[in-house]
Structure 1
Amino acid sequence: MKKSFSEHLFSLAALSAALYATSALAVEFKPSDHLIVIITPSHSNAFYKAESDTAQAAAKKLGYRTNALVHQDDPDIQLRLVQTAIGDNASAIILDNAGSDSSIAAVKRAKEAGIPTFLIDREVNANGIATAQIVSNNSQCATSVAEFFAEQVGFKGEYVELTGRTSDVNAHVRSEGFHRVLDQIPDMKMVAQQSANWDQTQGYNVMQSIIQANPNIVGVLAGNDTMALGAAAALKNAGNDKVIVVGIDGNPDVVRQIAGAGPIAATGLQQATKMAAMAMEQADQYLRTGKTDKPEKQSVDCVLVSKNNSHQVREGGFGMQ
């Protein structure tokens, strides 16, 4: 029977599809043809260095080329680095961003250039521009730290809170988590709350001023371990190392203090290495298949580290054995 014109068209379309599929299968995916750009805050903070090192190691193990860059928590530098990544034909960007609002433009720029961005540690206040936002469960983290802190000080006394960078949504979420617990305890009173911008030197300087005005404090909650280290040093120099200090991150120097004589008693260990590894695993899947099969927003619980389990923290911190 003679085929109609439409049947001929259908046969040709089917043949073209089969040839295209065969051709696509014949093209082998080569990770070495792809560049993964990893952008974080300064590596002088061990947390960010652990993120970058883990992502680089995972990428190189899979065969990708990498470029690790630092934005110094400056949105303008971050935007320039993203533009550089675009110019270098990066296949994916792994980013611990420089601010939840101020980073939106940079992530959008990458998306417009067809480059998927995998955010770790810090989210942005926008949906649909990043391929993934893999962040610590900061609320759970802060709540668990605050509960431990309250127990250690006997559920009473004056305390101090050092908060992180005001432009960082994580700083606000952690502070809210602290107060969700402590504001319910009538015999506990916050006598000072001040930002030290996630910085150890600022944590030291701020704490020095606070000690002079508040000699009777029983404890300090720091929004991250870097500030906790600064606060602990200031307390020690003032001869006041019996004050309980807690932080959040999983910094190896803090873990050593927890395992030893203190005064830092606990940290909410953010699993930086796990988040970075997850980002690289999902970037690899996306580049190979065009999807990750994961939701954009992903939350990773923290682990409360005290003297009892400090030996289980991996060497270098920021992960459990």
Structure 2
Amino acid sequence: MSGTVAGVALIGLLAGCTATAEVGTPSTSGGGSDITALVDASAKTPIADLQKTLGAPVVPQGAKLCYITRTLSNEFWGFERDGFEAEAKKLGVAYQTFDVTDESSITEQLDKAKSAANQGCTALLASPISATALDTVFTAALADGVPSIILNDAKGTIPGVVYVGPDATTIGTTAADYIAAKLPDGGNVAMIEGDPGSSNALNRGEGFKAGLAKHSNLTLVASQTAKWDQTKAQEIATAMLTANPDIKAFYSQNDGMALGVAAAIAAKGLTGKVILVGTDGIPQAKKEIQAGNFTATVSEQPTTEGASGVDAALWLLAGKTVPGWVDVPAFVIDADNVAKYPTGMP
């Protein structure tokens, strides 16, 4: 859960932000409509169904979409950005991407979001580091008739904000159920957690534990944060295997950390003997599955999410009703289906 694109003169303003080609002349404020009234907060609709009912988005004159993402050194967010920018280019709408350098810096992301709000954006899209980090920006934007869309992480509670992505809790539960199916006789399992300030980490962890609770023959014997860091994950997994040599499976809350876990498993001579399930579905994870070093990954669809966020913003600008949750579900990739996903991320 990465890269930059060519900049334009519009943005020498922001260090660490990605600027993109402009289309038309962006307006300086939102549409002025009551965006909150257009969002059905209680509805959760798969993106495929929504596309059928709402049709192709129309780009209003002067529209400009702004996306505040996380660090692009994390490959996952690069794919999210790519989906956003590719859809904007395809539809011919002006856009701009703002990224942060520190994956855990809520303050840095808030500053970028405030800057984005002053760049003539008619819709704001963001992947908040925490569930409430950008609430003040979203609230102000909605008051000005500017749609506010959350992509993938940190589904919030501000009325009128649309969430586009999977259910992070379900991702954790899916991992637990998958491990249970692979271990019919049960056994000890461990979890490598992401940053404790991240909503994704918290929700995936809760989902995994809830999933394990359904399988009484599985026992969580170790769970520790590696803060999304591969090296830390390797160190922690090594210590876990030393203290609990009978661990039968690991769940890693992202694939980057899972790479570290795979190295720890290999160093103990346990590759193929200890189940390893990652999260996200990054290209390297799929290579590791093909090589037999990962068992599976619960893959998200960041490219689809980024594009869907563009569509949702434009539908709102056109006055169409959009569900509070645009569902882009995650799914398991393992040896049985990995060949279907040879490159990139869906």
Structure 1 residues 75, 194: closer, same or farther in 2, change over 3 A?
A: same
Does residue 45 in structure 1 map to residue 74 in structure 2?
Answer: yes
Mapped partners of 2:261, 2:303: distance in 1:
26
Does residue 215 in structure 1 map to residue 245 in structure 2?
Answer: yes
- Is the Cα–Cα contact under 8 Å of residues 110 and 133 in structure 2 kept in the other structure? no
- Is the Cα–Cα contact under 8 Å of residues 86 and 115 in structure 1 kept in the other structure? no
Write out aligned runs for 1:1-321 (5 A).
33-71=62-100, 72-73=102-103, 74-130=105-161, 132-241=162-271, 242-262=273-293, 264-287=294-317, 289=318, 291-313=319-341, 315-317=343-345, 319=346
- Residues 7-26 of structure 1, C-alpha deviation per residue, up to 9 Å, x if partnerless? xxxxxxxxxxxxxxxxxxxx
RMSD over aligned CA atoms reads 2.2
Q: For residue 34 of structure 2, what is the aligned residue in structure 1?
A: none
Mapped partners of 2:283, 2:243: distance in 1:
31
The SS at the match of 1:41 is strand
TM-score by length of 2: 0.76
CA-CA distance at 1:106 after TM superposition: 3.1
The SS at the match of 1:192 is strand
- Is the Cα–Cα contact under 8 Å of residues 155 and 185 in structure 1 kept in the other structure? no
Letter in 2 for 1:169: S
Residues paired across the two proteins, number: 286
Mapped partners of 1:279, 1:142: distance in 2:
23
- Is the Cα–Cα contact under 8 Å of residues 117 and 137 in structure 2 kept in the other structure? no
**Structure exhibiting the larger radius of gyration computed from Cα positions:** 1
- Is the Cα–Cα contact under 8 Å of residues 39 and 52 in structure 1 kept in the other structure? no
CA-CA distance at 1:41 after TM superposition: 1.2
- Residues 7-52 of structure 1, C-alpha deviation per residue, up to 9 Å, x if partnerless? xxxxxxxxxxxxxxxxxxxxxx876843322221112222111000
- Is the Cα–Cα contact under 8 Å of residues 198 and 227 in structure 1 kept in the other structure? yes
Identity between Structure 1 and Structure 2 (%): 26
- Residues 273-294 of structure 1, C-alpha deviation per residue, up to 9 Å, x if partnerless? 221111111122233x1x3421
More divergent stretch after superposition (72-81 vs 217-226): 72-81
The SS at the match of 1:239 is coil
The SS at the match of 2:71 is coil
Mapped partners of 2:255, 2:274: distance in 1:
16
The SS at the match of 1:296 is strand
- Is the Cα–Cα contact under 8 Å of residues 32 and 63 in structure 1 kept in the other structure? no
Mapped partners of 1:118, 1:311: distance in 2:
33
Any unmatched runs of 5+ in structure 1?
A: 1-28
CA-CA distance at 1:79 after TM superposition: 1.7
Structure 1 residues 31, 59: closer, same or farther in 2, change over 3 A?
A: farther
Any unmatched runs of 5+ in structure 2?
A: 1-57
Mapped partners of 1:298, 1:35: distance in 2:
21
The SS at the match of 2:322 is coil
TM-score by length of 1: 0.81
Structure having greater relative contact order (Cα 8 Å, sep ≥ 6): 2
The SS at the match of 2:83 is helix
